C-alpha cells in the first residue's frame, strides 16, 4: 500500500498561464498521464506537497492520488524545481495498477566503505551508474539498490550481479552484466606502494649487509684462533 496520499484538484486552465495561476494560489501544478487515458492537469497544495516530497517517499514511489471520493495508485515520475529557490514548480504523475510491472530508475547506494581494505590502501571508488532502471511491481519498488563494498579489492569491477536484489526485481538491461562502479588504484596508492617496495628493498639490503659483516667477522675470528 502506498504510504503517501496526494489530495489533488483538477486545473481547468492548462498551459503556462494555468500553471502560474496555480502557483499564485499556493499550489504546485502537475500533470496526470498514462493508463490509456487522456492527460489531466492537476494541482496540489504546495505545503502538503513539500512535506510529502521531503520524506523521500514521493518521487519514484507508488502514491495514492485522491480527488474527492475517488482514489487511484500513481507513480510520481518527475518534479521540476526553481533553479535558485529550489521551490517545486511542476510534477508528473503516471497512472498504474498496484500490481502492474513497471520500469523505473532506482538509486544505487554503496555501504561498508570502511570495511574495504582497498580504500585504506589509497583506492578510490569510481561510480559508473548512480541509478539503474529496473522492472518491478509498482507496489514493491525498492528504496534503493545496495552495493556492499566489504571484501572488495583494488582493481575490482562491481557489476549488477554483485547487488543483492529484492525479490521480483530485475534489470531492464538483460544482454550483459553491466558495470556499476570500479575501485581504482589512485596515484597516492601507487606512490605508497612504490615507497613500501623501496623501504622493503632497503631493509633487505641492510639485513644482507649485516649478515655479510657477521660472516666476515666470524671468519676472521676463526682464522686468528
Instruction: Tell me phi and psi for residue 95, to 5 degrees.
Output: -65, 135
Same domain, 15 and 45: yes
The pLDDT of residue 109 is 94
Same domain, 116 and 170: yes
- Asked if 86 and 46 count as a contact pair (C-beta separation under 8 A), the reply is no
**In this predicted model, what pLDDT tens digit does every residue of 76-107 receive, in sequence order?**
888 999 999 999 999 999 999 888 899 999 99
CATH of the domain at 86: 2.40.240.10
The pLDDT of residue 59 is 84
The pLDDT of residue 161 is 94
Same domain, 178 and 194: no
Of 97, 117, 136, which one is at a domain's C-terminal end?
Answer: 97
Return the H-helix or E-strand segment holding 221. Answer: helix 187-224
Of all residues in the chain, what percent are helix, strand and coil, respectively (each to 5)?
30, 40, 30
This prediction's pTM: 0.67
3-class SS letters over 148-163: ECCCCCCCCEEEHHHC
Transcribe 105-134 into DSSP letters.
EEEEEEE-GGG-HHHHTTEEEEES-SEEEE
Domain count, the chain: 3
Distance of CA 210 to the CA centre of its chain: 56
Where in the sequence is the domain holding 197, given as residue range(s)? Answer: 187-225
The pLDDT of residue 1 is 45
The pLDDT of residue 69 is 81
The pLDDT of residue 160 is 95
Same domain, 8 and 61: yes
Listed residue (120, 70, 131) closest to 95, CA to CA = 70
Same domain, 82 and 114: no
Same domain, 148 and 221: no
Same domain, 208 and 145: no
Strands across the sheet containing 123-127: 123-127, 179-185, 157-159
Same domain, 126 and 51: no
List, in sequence order, every residue forming a beta bridge with 30; answer none if it has no partner.
42, 91
List, in sequence order, every residue forming a beta bridge with 80; answer none if it has no partner.
90
Same domain, 174 and 209: no
Same domain, 197 and 168: no
CATH of the domain at 164: 2.170.120.20
CB-based contacts of 224: which residues, under 8 Å, 6+ apart?
none
Listed residue (150, 158, 151) closest to 184, CA to CA = 158
Three cell numbers at 136? 518491478
The pLDDT of residue 48 is 93
DSSP symbol at 138: G
Three cell numbers at 175? 544482454
Of 30, 64, 97, which one is at a domain's C-terminal end?
Answer: 97
The pLDDT of residue 8 is 92
Same domain, 8 and 88: yes
Same domain, 19 and 77: yes
Instruction: Give the chain's residues under pLDDT 50.
Output: 1
Return the H-helix or E-strand segment holding 191. Answer: helix 187-224
Length of the chain: 225
Amino acid at each position: 500500500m502506498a504510504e503517501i496520499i496526494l489530495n489533488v484538484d483538477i486545473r481547468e486552465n492548462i498551459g503556462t498561464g494555468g500553471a502560474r495561476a496555480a502557483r499564485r494560489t499556493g499550489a504546485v501544478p502537475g500533470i496526470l498521464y498514462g493508463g490509456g487515458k487522456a492527460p489531466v492537469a492537476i494541482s496540489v497544495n504546495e505545503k502538503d506537497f513539500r512535506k510529502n516530497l521531503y520524506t523521500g517517499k514521493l518521487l519514484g514511489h507508488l502514491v495514492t492520488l485522491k480527488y474527492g471520493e475517488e482514489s487511484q495508485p500513481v507513480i510520481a515520475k518527475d518534479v521540476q524545481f526553481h533553479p535558485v529557490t529550489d521551490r517545486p514548480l511542476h510534477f508528473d504523475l503516471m497512472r498504474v495498477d498496484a500490481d502492474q510491472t513497471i520500469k523505473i530508475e532506482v538509486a544505487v547506494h554503496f555501504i561498508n566503505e570502511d570495511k574495504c581494505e582497498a580504500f585504506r590502501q589509497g583506492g578510490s571508488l569510481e561510480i559508473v551508474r548512480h541509478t539503474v532502471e529496473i522492472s518491478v511491481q509498482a507496489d514493491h519498488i525498492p528504496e534503493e539498490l545496495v552495493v556492499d563494498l566489504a571484501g572488495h579489492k583494488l582493481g575490482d569491477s562491481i557489476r549488477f550481479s554483485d547487488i543483492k536484489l529484492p525479490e521480483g526485481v530485475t534489470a531492464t538491461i538483460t544482454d550483459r552484466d553491466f558495470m556499476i562502479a570500479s575501485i581504482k588504484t589512485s596515484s597516492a596508492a601507487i606512490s605508497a606502494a612504490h615507497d613500501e617496495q623501496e623501504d622493503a628493498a632497503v631493509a633487505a639490503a641492510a639485513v644482507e649487509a649485516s649478515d655479510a659483516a657477521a660472516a666476515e667477522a666470524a671468519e676472521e675470528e676463526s682464522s686468528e684462533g
